[in-house]
Structures are given as structure tokens and as C-alpha cells.
Amino acid sequence: MGTDRIALNGLRARGRHGCLPAERELGQEFVIDVVLGLDVRPAAAEDDLLRTVDYGALADRLVAVVEGEPVNLIETLAERLAALCLDPPQVEEVEVTVHKPSAPMPHPFTDVAVTIHRSRP
């Protein structure tokens, strides 16, 4: 990751993502972790929120994606979330983890997650 990081962990939202009809119909909770790589020195030097990423506003946009249009794969959801995180010009790279703790599996498990890392071209 870049020199500085902003992390938002454990963001919860309900979505209807998955391949099975029941997942689309009933929905389930997803947990999102994002780590943004950026240089926070300009924001810190001027103590200015506009020179960094407003993580409250970012959380609102991430939740909107999770609650929005369903996709089959959490890989696809992770890609959409990563693209959103790279919107602010200050963000150089992002790591996104999408957790699906209630994935429909017939075996006991703690979590299913996909983690991707994307950076600005």
C-alpha cells in the first residue's frame, strides 16, 4: 500500500447478492473492509477534510452499492466497491474485502471473503 492508509473496517449492509434465488429474494448481511492508500500529509498540514477522504461519506456510498443492484459474485461486488474507492483523486490504491458471513453452505464456517487490491493506472 502507499505510505499512508485510511481503513474502514466492519461496515455492514444488507444486499441481495448471490447466485441462488433465495439469496436474491431474502438478502443477507455483507461486511465490507476497505483500506485506502494515499498521502495524508496535505490534509494534515492544513487540517482540511477536503484534502483527504471523508470516510463517513465514503461509507454512505459503499452501503448504497451493497444495497443496490444485485450481482451473482462477491468478486463483482468487490470490483464495484474498489472502483468507487478510487474515485477521489487523492486515493492511489485500495484494498477491498467483502465478507459474506451467511453464505449458503451446508458446512459450519466462520466467514467467506474475497479481497482485491486495485490501484490507479
How many Cβ atoms sit within 10 Å of the Cβ of residue 95? Answer: 20
Q: Of 42, 100, 107, 117, which is the active-site residue?
A: 100
Q: Is 100 a catalytic residue?
A: yes
Angle at the Cα of 83 (from 113 to 94), degrees rounded to 5? Answer: 65
Which residues, including other chains, have CB under 8 Å from residue 65's CB and lie 6 or more apart? 77, 80, 81, 84
Q: Is 50 exposed, middle or buried (0-12, 13-18, 19+ CB in 10 A)?
A: exposed
Rounded to whole angstroms, how far apart are CA atoms 9 and 32?
A: 6
Kindly list the catalytic residues: 100
